[in-house]
């Protein structure tokens, strides 16, 4: 179990300068996609930092790309599908070397990152740093396009954000004493506080349309089920409790910002509802296995050994990832990502308010 804990720092989830080349005039209906978050959204930023939280080796990426890109899945992630539905190219990782034209957007997400800077500190691009990168992009856009056109561009863009899982899991998979000093409610308040401040900063730069998904039962993923004594199939309920508190606090914070921030709009996909229905009837969603990972080792293949690069060289790999909801111990398969992306794009019933992501790209 001690060796297992070494692998948990990158659950679910530096900088080089980037030249932005923008055309002097963009089409009126041009909309970009900016992405912030953790491994659920990271397309490979962690390939370019000093960390073990990487997925740039076999079998990651094998189903779609036919090579490892740094995505923690056998294929595409949610932002990849959203970009496709919006008729955008794949949104590149911010740290990818070379000169880029970011008028279609950019992805700042980093596997292992948290809303709190202390989460996996020194091994990830935390949310505060991701925000600083975005501000650099916004500044250079203003230099290239002029203030008025840059503001119009940033206000039409869509901002996907998914972060917090690592903040809630790490205290239970390390020697943290954080809950000796903070209640669960206080801790969730710190996570939501950092996230809220980031959203407000993006809003100040021009951001108006934000897309979120809440948390499902995080304590039920293979990685955490493998930690439950006796391997009874039970979930890690302390993490599930934090997820519920987070969902309630996030909804409250977003509703408040919708009132207070000028032209602020948000879309919320209720992942918890989707996962509840999936667990009851996997076949309805086209899955045969929703408890065990396709790639990994140990109970439920919950040890983070996929690819044999994290201290455990031996691992099991299923023959057909499309039958599995989870690809590795804490990340879902491409098929699952596509289903979630479709719901985020075109829901209801799992969308709060009148907006889904499709509507955002039509505004």
Answer whether residue 328 is part of any domain: no
Mean pLDDT of 239-254: 97
- Would you state the pLDDT for residue 12? 44
Find the CATH number of the domain harbouring 113. 3.40.50
pLDDT value of position 243: 97
Task: Note whether 346 and 324 are within 8 A (CB).
Answer: no
* pLDDT 10s digits, 113-154: 999 999 999 999 999 999 999 999 999 999 999 999 999 999
What is the pLDDT averaged over residues 52-68? 97
Active site residues: 39, 328, 331
Omega into 59 within 30° of 0, i.e. cis? yes
Q: Is the pLDDT of residue 326 over 60?
A: yes
47 assigned to some structural domain: yes
In a domain, 138, yes or no: yes
Mean pLDDT of 192-201: 98
Return the pLDDT at 18: 39
Average pLDDT, the chain: 91
Domains of the chain: total: 1
Contacts of 72 (CB under 8 A, 6+ apart): 12, 13, 39, 40, 42, 55, 60, 111, 327, 328, 330, 331
Q: What is the mean pLDDT of residues 300-322?
A: 95
- The confidence score (pLDDT) of residue 28 equals 65
**What is the residue range of 200's domain?**
33-286+333-361
Residue 355 maps to a domain: yes
pLDDT value at residue 100: 74
Q: Does 213 score more than 80 pLDDT?
A: yes
Res 1: pLDDT:
41
Does 309 fall in a domain?
no
- pLDDT tier, 311 (very low <50, low <70, confident <90, very high otherwise): confident
218 or 232: which leads in pLDDT: 218
Q: Cis before residue 349, ω within 30 degrees of 0?
A: yes
Model pLDDT, residue 19: 38
> Does residue 71 fall inside a structural domain?
yes
Q: Is residue 317 part of a domain?
A: no
pLDDT at position 353? 58
State whether the Cα torsion 290-226-245-122 is positive or negative.
Answer: negative
**Residue carrying the six token digits 């979630």:** 340
Question: Is 296 a member of any domain?
Answer: no
- Of 270, 165, 281, 309, the closest CA to residue 223 belongs to 165
Q: What percent of the chain has pLDDT over 70?
A: 90
Q: Give the pLDDT of residue 355.
A: 83
């Amino acid at each position: 179990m001690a060796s297992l804990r070494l692998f948990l720092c990158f659950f679910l989830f530096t900088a080089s300068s980037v030249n932005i080349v923008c055309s002097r005039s963009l089409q009126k209906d041009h909309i970009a996609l900016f992405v912030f978050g953790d491994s659920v959204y990271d397309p490979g930023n962690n390939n370019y930092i000093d960390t073990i939280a990487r997925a740039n080796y076999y079998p990651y990426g094998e189903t779609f790309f036919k090579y490892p890109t740094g995505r923690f899945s056998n294929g595409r992630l949610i932002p990849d599908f959203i970009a496709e539905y919006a008729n955008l190219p794949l949104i590149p990782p911010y740290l990818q070397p070379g000169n880029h034209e970011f008028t279609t957007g950019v992805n700042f997400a980093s596997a292992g990152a948290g809303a709190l800077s202390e989460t996996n500190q020194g091994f990830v691009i935390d949310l505060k740093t991701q925000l600083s990168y975005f501000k650099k992009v916004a500044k250079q856009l203003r230099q290239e396009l002029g203030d008025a056109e840059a503001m119009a561009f940033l206000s039409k863009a869509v901002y996907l954000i998914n972060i917090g899982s690592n903040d809630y899991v790490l205290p239970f998979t390390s020697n943290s004493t954080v809950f000796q000093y903070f209640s669960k409610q206080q801790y969730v308040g710190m996570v939501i506080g950092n996230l809220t401040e980031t959203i407000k900063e993006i809003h100040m730069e021009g951001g108006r349309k934000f897309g979120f998904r809440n948390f499902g039962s995080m304590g039920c993923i293979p990685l955490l089920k493998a930690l439950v004594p006796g391997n009874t199939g039970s979930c890690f309920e302390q993490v599930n409790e934090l997820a519920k508190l987070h969902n309630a606090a996030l909804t409250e914070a977003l509703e408040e910002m919708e009132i207070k921030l000028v032209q602020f709009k948000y879309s919320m996909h209720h992942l918890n509802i989707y996962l509840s229905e999936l667990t009851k009837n996997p076949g309805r969603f086209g899955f045969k296995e929703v408890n065990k990972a396709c790639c990994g080792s140990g109970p439920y293949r919950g040890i983070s050994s996929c690819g044999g690069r994290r201290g455990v060289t031996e691992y099991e790999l299923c023959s057909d990832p499309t039958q599995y909801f989870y690809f590795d111990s804490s990340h879902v398969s491409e098929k699952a990502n596509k289903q979630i992306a479709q719901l985020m794009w075109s829901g209801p019933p799992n969308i709060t308010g009148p907006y889904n992501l499709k509507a955002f790209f039509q505004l």
